[in-house]
Amino acid sequence: MHDLIRRLAHWLGLLFGPGTGTHRAGDPRPAYLTAGPAPTADSVCLPLHRSPYRLHLPLDGADSRLVRPYLTDREQERARQRRRKVTLVLAADFGIDLDQHILGAGKVAA
């Protein structure tokens, strides 16, 4: 027999241990209270069902302040690249020598 001591201790605990308290001697069962007359069909009505999908108009992405930061970073980088490209094209057309800080490029070792 496995765990003989544990089984014996459990059985003795159930036999001599305190009860759950539901069947104590001399303790009357609690009386159930009624709140009053039963409600009629006229007095009880459920609220109308309203779908949560038709309460609001669809959200416009431009109106929302929640923006994914990597998208704004990408847009800013593209704007910088366009600005550099336009600057280089204008400089090449008019033969203007541009400094590196105008293009936004770093120093390049010669």
List per-residue pLDDT tens for the chain, 110 residues long.
Answer: 678 999 999 999 888 887 766 665 665 666 666 666 666 666 667 777 777 776 777 767 677 666 677 777 888 899 999 998 998 888 888 877 766 555 555 555 44
- In the chain, % helix, strand, coil (3-state, to 5) comes to 40, 0, 60
The pLDDT, as a whole number, for residue 110 is: 47
Is this model's pTM higher than 0.85 or not? no
Structure tokens at 62: 């431009």
